[in-house]
Amino acid sequence: MGEASGHVWLDFTGPFENPIVVALLFAAMGINWNLHSESFHPDGEVQGGLGHSPNNISPPRVRGQGVGVSGDSLALLKAFNAAAIPYRKSTRFQPLFSSALIAEAAASPMNDTGWTPASKAPLAQKIIALCRSRSIEKLKSFFVERKTFPTPLGLLKVDKFETQWDEDEKIFRFGKIYFSLDNISAGSFVSRGSSNDPTAVQVWEVREFSGESWPGARLPEGIIQKRFDLVGGLVLTACEALGILELTDRKPAVNMAAVLESVKRYKAFCLSKKS
């Protein structure tokens, strides 16, 4: 899902919006479930049916003189659940950029709007874009690749910090941090920015299983929740400490209630272990 912006595309077809292709893919999964539900495997491959190769399609069952497909109205959902690799994902939320970050963006030589924190005019979109870019710069400087964080769950490491740089505007568009736990991929955190409000746009996710590939069994719920709180809580408390965000539920922040509870659990679980 690339930058996790909510726009739909496939890694196979490249980073452009193609919801029709995605819809057709899901439709094919639903049809295949109706035809082969008894042999639909959790890894997404069907014995004798639609597998990893688009040419590997077995003929449908024939009823009488025509083609018959059992009409399970939940076929798409069942096929998706059977093939899905389980991740726990936060809601898409928008925390406030800090007043310090906004002042820093306003003082930048790239601010050609004339807007300052003392201005009575609404915050200029250019300032919001500069806040987004500067926030990603700060995160990239803090979460450097191979940096480690000892935690009660193991050694959390930054495997990669992916960014998108806009050469025309000379700003960062988004940043994505990939984490591993004890050298096994664990999850990621995405930070972008709103176009109109002085907020970041963020989301994070963690695997609900241990290992580089889906073993067919989830971790215990308590461990999943701690991993989830660990990734989100670590990045968000760093954002606050770096002067990037204000962790509050005050408007125009969006969807912050559950996020703040996760940060609270992170602090109680991880930070208390250090004392």
Give tens-digit pLDDT for 58-82. Answer: 433 333 333 444 567 788 888 888 8
Last residue of a domain, one of 36, 59, 83: 83
Judged by average pLDDT, the poorest of 80-94, 188-202, 241-255 is: 80-94
Residue 235 has pLDDT above 80, yes or no: yes
Domain range for residue 47? 19-83
Note whether residue 95 is domain-resident: yes
Note whether residue 13 is domain-resident: no
In angstroms, the CA 147 to CA 157 distance is: 6
| Burial state string for 9-37 with b = 16 or more CB within 10 A and e = fewer than 16 | beeeeeeeebeeeeeeeeeebbbbbbbbb
Judged by average pLDDT, the poorest of 6-15, 222-231, 239-248, 260-269 is: 6-15
Note whether residue 8 is domain-resident: no
Residue 171 has pLDDT above 80, yes or no: yes
The H-assigned helical ranges of the chain are 19-36, 75-83, 99-106, 125-142, 221-241, 257-266, 272-274
Is 137 found in the same domain as 213? yes
Last residue of a domain, one of 55, 83, 111: 83
Last residue of a domain, one of 83, 106, 121: 83
In angstroms, the CA 29 to CA 9 distance is: 17
Note whether residue 47 is domain-resident: yes
Is 262 found in the same domain as 167? yes
Is 100 found in the same domain as 58? no
Number of structural domains, the chain?
Answer: 2
Confidence bin at 15 (pLDDT 50/70/90): low
Is 142 found in the same domain as 246? yes
Note whether residue 180 is domain-resident: yes
Q: Are 176 and 190 in contact (CB under 8 A)?
A: yes
Is 149 found in the same domain as 268? yes
Note whether residue 105 is domain-resident: yes
Judged by average pLDDT, the poorest of 37-41, 98-102, 218-222 is: 37-41
What pLDDT, on a 0 to 100 scale, did the predictor assign at position 257? Answer: 96
Q: Are 242 and 140 in contact (CB under 8 A)?
A: no
Is 116 found in the same domain as 202? yes
Residue 186 has pLDDT above 60, yes or no: yes
In angstroms, the CA 6 to CA 154 distance is: 31
Is 147 found in the same domain as 238? yes
Is 230 found in the same domain as 172? yes
Note whether residue 10 is domain-resident: no
Is 125 found in the same domain as 72? no
Note whether residue 248 is domain-resident: yes
In angstroms, the CA 241 to CA 239 distance is: 6
- pTM (2 d.p.): 0.81
